[in-house]
């Protein structure tokens, strides 16, 4: 009987997965981790010269600026998983409230400021 009660009791993990804001954060992290993974692969490529590594890093800074402007304009094309999650929850594609509750733009601004400290 105890096992049955514990099995039917909502777990903390299940509660987190039912929270749309947490799911938005998870989808955002999935999209951004994918971008960082691509950068990591480029940086570890064979026969990469230092100027090429600098170019990859500068491209990341440009992408951060692009992400900030796109998120401010509610353009989610660079974040397909997040876009899909928000569209499934928010009516009429009005993402303004969902994005206002998030700190995604602020996260990119912080990353961009840190990236700009590295001048080559």
- For the segment 18-58, what is each residue's pLDDT rounded down to a tens digit? 777 778 888 888 988 998 999 899 889 888 898 998 999 89
Minimum mean pLDDT range among 1-5, 58-62, 112-116: 1-5
Question: Tokens 């777990």 map to which residue?
Answer: 11
Higher pLDDT, 87 or 33: 33
- pLDDT tops 80 at residue 90: no
Higher pLDDT, 23 or 91: 23
- pLDDT tops 60 at residue 111: yes
Mean pLDDT, range 65-86, rounded to an integer:
84
Higher pLDDT, 5 or 67: 67
- Give the 3-state secondary structure of the chain: CHHHHHHHCCCHHHHHHHCHHHHHHHHHHHHHHHHHHHHHHHHCCCCCCHHHHHHHHHHHHHHHHHHHHHHHCCCCCCCHHHHHHHHHHCHHHCCHHHHHHCCHHHHHHHHHHHHHCCCC
């Amino acid at each position: 009987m105890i096992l049955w009660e514990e099995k039917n009791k909502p777990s903390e993990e299940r509660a987190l997965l039912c929270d749309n804001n947490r799911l938005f954060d998870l989808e955002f992290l999935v999209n951004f981790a994918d971008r960082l993974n691509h950068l990591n692969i480029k940086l570890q490529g064979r026969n990469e010269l230092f100027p090429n590594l600098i170019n990859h890093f500068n491209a990341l800074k440009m992408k951060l600026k692009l992400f900030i402007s796109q998120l401010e304009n509610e353009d989610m094309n660079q974040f397909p998983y997040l876009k899909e999650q928000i569209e499934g929850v928010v009516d009429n594609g009005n993402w303004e409230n969902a994005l206002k509750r998030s700190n995604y733009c602020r996260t990119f601004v912080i990353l961009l400021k840190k990236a700009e400290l590295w001048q080559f």
